[in-house]
Amino acid sequence: MANPRLRALTRWGKWAKKDWAIAAVGFTIILFALTLLFDSRNPATPDLLSAQDLVPLTLLHRAKATGAFCLDGSLPGYHFQKGFGSGSNNWLLHIEGGGWCNSIETCNIRKRTALGSSNYMDRLVSFAGILSRHPSQNPDFYNWNIVKIRYCDGASLAGHPESEFKNGTKLFFRGHLIWEAIMSELLSLGLSKAKQALLSGCSAGGLATLIHCDDFRDHLPKDATIKCLADAGFFLDEPDVLGNRTMSAFYHDVLQLQGVAKSLHKKCVRRMEPSKCIFPLEIIENVRTPLFIVNPAYDFWQIQHILVPTESDPHGYWRRCRLSIQECDSTQIGTLQGFRSSLLKALSKLEKDKEGGMFINSCFVHCQTWMAETWHSPNSPRINNKTIAESVGDWYFGRKPSKEIDCPHPCNPTCYNMDFTRGV
């Protein structure tokens, strides 16, 4: 019998688009972790996870003075583990993911979760993958100062209070203020003297990384090595299988609700519809800081919400394919290969950038940097026999160019492919 937690989680495939927008990323990350824990391909996984130190939540009390609040008005927070040895003056910041909210209704639901309120956040979390203290898991960054930034605004740390409703609706759109308050605190803790620093993030946190990358660079010493890494945050402005631009319409609502345009590049906002400027294709046109993109070519979140949202599959033709790439027929695989081609086309500018890097594997997965199993372990996904961690390290430290692009599915036997049909 399927694990009851897994069985409950797979029911989310029947939710409406707005419900998925609130919860899908955060909850599917949990599912991802659980699936890896039970994956018989990697019996060492439980030992790796049990070895992690628990890192306490720090609430940002100084945020009161600037009004930098989560959606519900609670204080934002972060987890911080101090660096040591050769990493004492180096910093790695990681912004967690968790989707977005695009209406008063969905933001009100969200504010009663850890993605909208620090009242629901775990007080202790384990650091793994790119956040790990263990050299075997994280060979290049294990002894750096490591910060996990909690995500509680629903707009990729980019909302503005001018857009808040004045009719008694208690929602705080303070994402940009949260970003500024956290930066201020970390600068006072030693980030201002960083020799090397990397801003990273997963999913909606990966998008936040792209939005704030140059601002991060501008806060730090000019002679420091500063770069940014977006994991599963390269969302495409693609039509779905019925020709509707579902994601574009959704982002339009997020921008209108939370005033996100003010955080986007001014040149882009002047040139086109502001909601277009939140897509990474447009963001990377203006980012000056070196970027690395980690993204699966068959990102299950994008397939389930951009390419084949539930409302665009009324007869259920895609039902099993969108839950597991192994269930796709040849025609569906052809559509997925087209989606992969759109991703590679969108990344063509970065591919030509000598300071840029990428790791685009052919896996049906989402975030891959914050789990040991996918970041760097004996069974991690590889391209040209390199793990994600090795590719990122080569790029960050300039050891060698690192632009790894996988061959199309199903060529890579090292992939972790999510299977949401389990227990359905």
CB atoms inside a 10 Å sphere around CB 384 = 10
Work out the pLDDT band at 168, boundaries 50, 70, 90. confident
Question: Of 74, 118, 132, 203, which is the active-site residue?
Answer: 203
Whether 19 is catalytic: no
Work out the pLDDT band at 424, boundaries 50, 70, 90. low
Question: Of 94, 366, 376, 409, which is the active-site residue?
Answer: 366
- 266: Cβ contacts below 8 Å, ≥ 6 apart: none
For residues 355 and 115, is the Cβ–Cβ distance under 8 A?
no
- The CA distance from 237 to 241, in Å, is 13
For residues 386 and 364, is the Cβ–Cβ distance under 8 A?
no
| 131: pLDDT strictly greater than 50 | yes
**Measured torsion, CA atoms of residues 243, 350, 136, 397, in degrees rounded to the nearest 10:** -170
For the stretch 30-78, pLDDT in tens is 444 434 443 434 444 444 444 447 999 999 998 999 999 999 999 999 9
- The CA distance from 286 to 282, in Å, is 7
Backbone dihedral region of 128: left (phi > 0), alpha (psi from -120 to 50 degrees) or beta?
beta
For the stretch 350-379, pLDDT in tens is 999 999 999 999 999 999 999 999 999 999
CATH topology of domain 4-405: Rossmann fold (3.40.50)
Whether 299 is catalytic: yes
For the stretch 386-401, pLDDT in tens is 999 999 999 999 999 9
Question: Of 72, 153, 231, 299, which is the active-site residue?
Answer: 299
| 180: pLDDT strictly greater than 50 | yes
pLDDT score for 354: 94
Whole-prediction pTM value? 0.90
| 308: pLDDT strictly greater than 80 | yes
Whether 212 is catalytic: no
Per-domain residue ranges of the chain? 4-405
DSSP tally for the chain: helices H, then strands E: 15, 10
